[in-house]
Amino acid sequence: MVTHHIPSTLEETLKLLETNLYQVMCGGTDLMVQSRSWANTVPKLVKPLVFISQLSELNFIEETPDYIEIGSVTSYETLLNSSLVPKVLKDTIIEIAAPGIRHVGTLGGNIANASPAADAVCTLIALDAIVEIMSSNSIRTEKICDFIIGVKKTTLKPNEIIRSIKIPNVEHDYANFYKVGGRKADAISKVSLCVLCNVKDNIITKFRIAFGAVGPKVASNIKTDELFVGKTIDEIKNNIDDYTKKYASLITPIDDQRSTKEYRHKVALNMIKAFIETL
Amino acid sequence: MKDMMYAKTIRSKIVKGTIKSITIPPLPEGYFTVSREDILSKNIVKIIFEDMPYYSTGEINHLNEPIMLVVGSDMEIIKQIVDEIKIEYSEENGVFDESQKTIAYHFKKGNPKRAFKNAEKVIEMTYHTGLQEQAYIEPQGFIVYEEDEKVTLIGSIQCPYYVKNAVVYALGCSSDQVRVIQAAVGGAFGGKEEYPSLIACQLAVAVKKVHKPIKLIFEREEDILSTTKRHPSRITLKAAINELNNVTSISADIAIDGGAYTGLSSVVLSRAMIAVSGAYTFENLEVLGHVIKTNTVPNGAFRGFGAPQMFFAIEMFMHHIAKETHQDSFAFRMRHIARQGDKTSTSGTFRDPILLEDLIRVATEKSKYHSKALAYSQPGIYKGIGMSIFLHGCGFTGSGESTHIKAQVKLLKTKDGLVHILVAAVDMGQGIKTTLPKIVSQILEIPIERCIFNYPDTDNVPDSGPTVASRTIMIVGGLVARAAKELKENWIDNLEQIVTKRYVQPSYIKYDESKFKGDAYPAYSWGVSVVEVSVDPITYQTKILNVVSAYDVGKEIDERIIQGQAEGGIVQGIAYGYLENMSANKGVIKQKNLTDYIIPTTLDVSKMSTYILDNPYQYGPFGAKGAGELTLIGGAPAVALAIQMAINKNITKIPVTPEYVMELMHDDD
Amino acid sequence: MMMIKFILNGEHVEIESDPSRRLLDVLRSDFNLIGVKEGCGEGECGACSILLNHHVVNSCLLPLGNIINQEIMTIEGFKTTKRYQIIEQAYIDAGAVQCGFCTPGMVMATESLLHMNPSPSDFEIKIALSGSLCRCTGYNMIIEAVKIAAERGEGLW
Ligand SMILES: Cc1cc2nc3c(=O)[nH]c(=O)nc-3n(C[C@H](O)[C@H](O)[C@H](O)COP(=O)(O)OP(=O)(O)OC[C@H]3O[C@@H](n4cnc5c(N)ncnc54)[C@H](O)[C@@H]3O)c2cc1C
Ligand code: FES
Ligand code: FES
């Protein structure tokens, strides 16, 4: 019988994963909920586990000239306390769950879990972050917006693990995260939005938006974003409704137990508009 | 406990229909299923209206209806058995509208017909309120065991004697064969009033079959999906307005959704109907009420018991009438508030002084209600302030106390001078483990440490009635105070002494239940709540900015306990009005856990101020009346009125979710 | 099954168990530490809060395999400290305990906060307790209790 493993090195971990038999357990804040069984019985797991939160090789925050690189098992709390982590990502993290979850939850888990409502994913997509993926004999990188392909779907193979997340080391004049949840803490997003923007001489030089919880995956479209680039702020403000509506087709939410599609759609557009008004 | 067994409930997967077949795998030794075949006497949970079976009869009326228990010692094995049990159903269409009525009540005050005939103007509105989940943090649960023939149940419950009586009825045994012990209760708010009796009956039958102790604890999701909640309602109000722009009569048509089984719904309905006047006096009333039956989880007791629904409707309606008749809403409401000597909605009399004007003055001054209301009425500010005025009848409706409950309390003084307070009242956070000893210690003039209050055990305490209906301090506390006085007069050192007291209704209280006529309650507690909000025009979310309340609860026995009741109650009431959203689609509840059923966190509450005005009630201990439910009632109307002001649209349903606010704000787009 | 070692309330312990089990269950059934409560089993209510290396964590979501050689503190272990006594008295004095079901979790969240931030603002207190649901109090009396504890326990954290 295959049983759970708690490896002490990354190498050992990758070797185990090479058998394609295991599922990775990191902070557990998604996986333990999903495999919830009956109190005081073992969780309902599809595959045996390889625990990774103890791997120090994956627990780091580093700065290179091009990137801030974050090890996949680094906890949210650690990120909040680091001076290297971009402010907009911290602003996002502080809106995730509550302290008890933030002490153990990770970016790796948030990304691999690939929920359309994942808050960190929303911001990382806007930031054009790159996911570094590793198996025992390869390392590959992928843009996070390509890595996540649908509800709970990524390109991760059973023998792979997310090693790190690389965030391009660029400054933004505006970098905001907005979350609309059912309440002020411990809430899953009904809709969320990360917007990054640079302005030079009254002209937009960068515009990047990602929306959470409005479709099967966090939504973004560089082509739409580029329609803003090169425009003056006045041009955009004078035609604010037209510019806002350019995102309408990107926002394809559903009705569920948390909200309605009309609400999500409207609020997502309202938030873009409200952002433009702050420029 | 040695040899503990565990139980897991198998529940229906359909909303309506019948069970065609149940296939149970071969069970290992020591594992059992327990279902209706094992019942020794009656398959009915003894509540008011006896229609709810505790093991499905084969006819399914709601999703997650309990069918059987799987009992055994290893939880992993139980889990496997549960997975292997196959049930086939023949499914039918459920009913979710008002077409099935189980209970219909009607009453009148004065001559409503004439009032409507002579009216200058008639205004009508319909209001809707949603489900609310008690969301006590500790789920339901029991441990049951058998000693000789006797069944003992230990549980997280509000009403030990309800459980005991239900189990005696279910087993068909004598009363001394059942013992119920209350465990520490992690909050209840009505949710552990009648529902635990159902689990208790299931377990009593089970323990008679397996003869080993059994533990059954609900999972959160199971708790949310299968236990009772606050009744949704549809309330249509019609007002007759005279030439002075006053209301001469209200006609009300009230429907509350009892879910699949009626249970306590009739009592909830009467509370709602009696509350029809709000805290106002109307000379003439015509009130029609129905409990409707739908194929959803049964609804039941929840702090306020029908009153929160009605107060939301009447407060919104009063405001609406003022607007429709172009008058200042505050002045209009003040003209109608109840005063001492007025006839109540059931033609009884408000005998005691009413401090409403003082309460309103305190609450409006401390909240700056008038200046803020003026400032916020400008467009584009998106802020609002709402005031609700309310009352709550203390104790059971009508002659319930004297005819049904007949409460008894006992004080036992031991030789060494300890006084045991023997009552069936349960402390589930509302503080009676402090308040009752405080009453006894003050009367006997002995240190509070010498007054002992323990968790009730039906083998030791008399039936002082359930811990419900804001009755514990006023009724039970009142009896305890009387017993203490008697003990004081007859106190003899070094002698064991027992004093027993039984409830006697004040002689002036006369009530005809069938006609809704007379004094429905011996006394009323009163309150005014002011809630201030802002609404975000981008996200349509409401933020609570400030809450000020003033109450008349007779006399506060412990300041901090009243403050705790006040803050906890109003937070639940406000959240009922704008935050807590539970909806069912064709009998399927959509919000099934605490992730999706949103209750407030620390970050959702604002500053709260509570003011208590003294107005001692002759028959309450030191003048105290009820406080437990009152504080919840004003929350929803106050927050809804505040949001209404902030967005300048008519609100007709709660919860006022951001989705609903969006709809209202764009209804003219 | 696996031998798992960790530090529980200051003592080295080991247990032969399935590492996927919830720490909550292990604490309650294997170590009989029943001050840890289960209110939801899905990380929402905070009744199961414990300290993992001094940080508040929901033990209903913490698999045993994640705590090897880590320090776990439950309310039972914390009870022996001076800081607990200060917090407990503050909770009583402020009227922060009604049914008490949320209290152990609230107290753990309080300790976690004061450990990192001995003189928190109201807002910081609210954030620190935002993962613990209380259905009885309406919270303000609990927030008051934390403020009182921070004041009275000055120097202890
Ligand atoms: C009460 C509560 C509130 C929450 N609130 C929010 C919220 O507001 N916003 C939000 O975005 N999320 C929220 N979450 C979800 C969750 O906390 C986050 O998604 C968290 O980041 C998951 O990280 P983890 O390490 O706990 O993941 P785990 O549960 O350990 O893993 C999740 C998934 O990712 C896989 N995985 C983990 N790490 C790796 C890796 N390095 N390589 C490959 N695969 C991996 C696992 O196999 C699993 O499938 C909440 C959860 C709870 C319980
Ligand atoms: S039981 Fe763990 S958070 Fe509720
Ligand atoms: S005191 Fe009851 S849940 Fe907090």
Residue B669's pLDDT is 65
CB under 8 Å to A167, separation ≥6 — which residues? Answer: A67, A68, A69, A70, A86, A89, A124, A127, A129
pLDDT in tens, A79-89: 999 999 999 99
Atom nearest to A111 CA in ligand 1: 34
- Here the tokens at position B477 are 């506390």
| Domain match, C49 and C111 both | no
Ligand 1 proximal residues by C-beta, below 6 Å: A 23-31, 33, 52, 72, 96-97, 101, 105-106, 108-110, 112-113, 118-120, 156, 161-162, 186, 188; C 42-44, 61
Label residues B258-276 b or e (16+ Cβ within 10 Å = b).
bbbbbbbbbbbbbbbbbbb
Q: Where are the domains of chain A?
A: 4-168, 174-276
| Torsion on CA atoms B354, B358, B359, B363, rounded to nearest 10 | 170
Q: How much is the average pLDDT of B108-112?
A: 98
Task: Determine if the peptide bond prior to B447 is cis (ω within 30°).
Answer: no
For residue B526, pLDDT over 90 is answered with: yes
Residue type for position B262 = T
Of C32, C53, C75, at which residue does a domain stop? C75
Edge-first strand order for the sheet with B178-182 is: B32-34, B66-72, B5-11, B214-217, B141-147, B150-155, B178-182
**What letter does residue B603 receive in the DSSP assignment?**
G
Q: Angle at the Cα of B113 (from B107 to B116), degrees rounded to 5? A: 120
Residue type for position A50 = V
Percent of chain A scored above 70 by pLDDT?
Answer: 100
Would the ipTM clear 0.90, i.e. be above it?
Answer: yes
Residue B668's pLDDT is 75
**What letter does residue B232 receive in the DSSP assignment?**
P
Q: Pairing state of beta strands B17-23 and B86-91? A: antiparallel
Q: Look over chain A and give the mean of its residue pLDDT values, rounded to a whole number.
A: 97
Write out residues 40-69 of A within 8 Å (CB-CB) of C: 40, 42-43, 45, 49, 51, 53-54
Sole residue written with tokens 């003899």: B492
CB under 8 Å to B88, separation ≥6 — which residues? Answer: B19, B20, B21, B22
- Here the tokens at position B660 are 């609903």
Residue type for position B228 = T
| Domains along the sequence of chain B with CATH | 5-94+134-226 (3.30.365.10), 233-397+518-665 (3.30.365.10), 400-502 (3.30.365.10)
Give phi and psi for C66, each to the nearest 5. -90, 0
| Domain match, C32 and C50 both | yes
pLDDT in tens, A56-69: 999 999 999 999 99
Higher-pLDDT residue of C47 and B510 is: C47
Label residues A195-214 b or e (16+ Cβ within 10 Å = b).
bbbbbeeeebebbbbbbbbb
Provide the domain count of chain C.
Answer: 2
Q: Pairing state of beta strands B284-293 and B101-109? A: antiparallel
| Domain match, C68 and C87 both | no
- Here the tokens at position A269 are 């557009």
| Domain match, C8 and C23 both | yes
Distance between CA B2 and CA B14 in Å, rounded? 37
| Domain match, C24 and C40 both | yes
Note whether B429 contacts C: Cβ–Cβ < 8 A. yes
Do the Cβ atoms of A33 and C42 come within 8 Å? yes
Give, using CA atoms, the residue closest to atom 4 of ligand 3. Answer: C134
Residue type for position B576 = Y
Is the Cβ–Cβ distance between A53 and C66 less than 8 Å?
yes
Q: Angle at the Cα of B610 (from B606 to B616), degrees rounded to 5? A: 160
pLDDT in tens, B291-327: 999 999 999 999 999 999 999 999 999 999 999 999 9
pLDDT in tens, A236-268: 999 999 999 999 999 999 999 999 999 999 999
Label residues B453-475 b or e (16+ Cβ within 10 Å = b).
beebbbeebbbbbbbbbbbbbbb
Distance between CA C98 and CA C91 in Å, rounded? 10
pLDDT in tens, B566-581: 999 999 999 999 999 9
CA-based Rg of chain B, rounded to a whole angstrom?
Answer: 25
Choose among B236, B230, B316: nearest CA to B273: B236
Of C75, C100, C131, at which residue does a domain stop? C75
The CATH number for C29's domain is: 3.10.20.30
**What letter does residue A257 receive in the DSSP assignment?**
S
Residue B504's pLDDT is 87
Q: Look over chain B and give the mean of its residue pLDDT values, rounded to a whole number.
A: 96
Tell me, letter by letter, the H, E, C secondary structure of C42-87: CCCCCCCEEEECCEEEECCCCEHHHCCCCEEECHHHHCCCHHHHHH
Higher-pLDDT residue of C88 and B379 is: C88
- Domain range for C134: 82-152
Residue B468's pLDDT is 86
Is the Cβ–Cβ distance between A121 and A110 less than 8 Å?
yes
Give, using CA atoms, the residue closest to atom 2 of ligand 3. Answer: C99
Is the Cβ–Cβ distance between B447 and B466 less than 8 Å?
no
| Domain match, C131 and C105 both | yes
Note whether B216 contacts A: Cβ–Cβ < 8 A. no
Residue type for position B220 = R
Residue B667's pLDDT is 84
Residue B49's pLDDT is 85
Q: How confident is the model at residue B186 (pLDDT cuts 50, 70, 90)?
A: confident
Q: How confident is the model at residue C21 (pLDDT cuts 50, 70, 90)?
A: very high
Residue A1's pLDDT is 64
Choose among A133, A164, A135: nearest CA to A58: A164
Sole residue written with tokens 């635990």: B196
Q: How much is the average pLDDT of B66-85?
A: 98
| Domain match, C23 and C70 both | yes
pLDDT in tens, A98-130: 999 999 999 999 999 999 999 999 999 999 999
Is the Cβ–Cβ distance between B511 and B346 less than 8 Å?
yes
Ligand 3 proximal residues by C-beta, below 6 Å: B 137, 187, 429; C 97-102, 134-137
pLDDT in tens, B406-450: 999 999 999 999 999 999 999 988 889 999 999 999 999 999 999
HSE-CB of B644 using CA atoms within 13 angstroms:
22
Do the Cβ atoms of B138 and C44 come within 8 Å? no
pLDDT in tens, C90-139: 999 999 999 999 999 999 999 999 999 999 999 999 999 999 999 999 99
Q: Spelled out in words, what is the top-level CATH class assigned to the domain A4-168?
A: alpha beta
Number of H helices, E strands in chain A: 12, 12
Listing DSSP states for B311-342 in one string gives HHHHHHHHHHHHHHTT--HHHHHHHHB--TT-
Beta bridge partners, A219, equal A211
Residue C157 within any structural domain of the chain = no
- How distant is the Cα of A67 from the closest Cα of chain B, in angstroms? 34
Q: How much is the average pLDDT of B618-638?
A: 94
Beta strands in B519-663 (DSSP E): 523-535, 542-552, 584-585, 588-589, 607-612, 653-654
pLDDT in tens, B116-161: 999 999 999 999 999 999 999 999 999 999 999 999 999 999 999 9
The CATH number for C97's domain is: 1.10.150.120
Residue B404's pLDDT is 82
What does pTM read for this prediction?
0.97
Residue type for position A40 = N
Residue A78's pLDDT is 98
| Domain match, C6 and C71 both | yes
pLDDT in tens, B317-327: 999 999 999 99
Is the Cβ–Cβ distance between C128 and C112 less than 8 Å?
yes
B666: left (phi over 0), alpha (psi -120 to 50) or beta: alpha
- Domain A174-276 maps to which CATH number in 1.10.1040.10, 3.30.390.50, 1.10.10.10, 3.30.420.40? 3.30.390.50
pLDDT in tens, B466-495: 988 789 998 999 999 999 999 999 999 999
pLDDT in tens, A176-195: 999 999 999 999 999 999 99
Is the Cβ–Cβ distance between A259 and B539 less than 8 Å?
no
| Domain match, C147 and C86 both | yes
For residue B217, pLDDT over 70 is answered with: yes
For residue C29, pLDDT over 80 is answered with: yes
Is the Cβ–Cβ distance between C50 and C57 less than 8 Å?
yes
Distance between CA C33 and CA C25 in Å, rounded? 10
C94 CA distance to ligand 3 middle (Å): 14
Percent of chain B scored above 70 by pLDDT?
Answer: 100
| Domain match, C6 and C70 both | yes
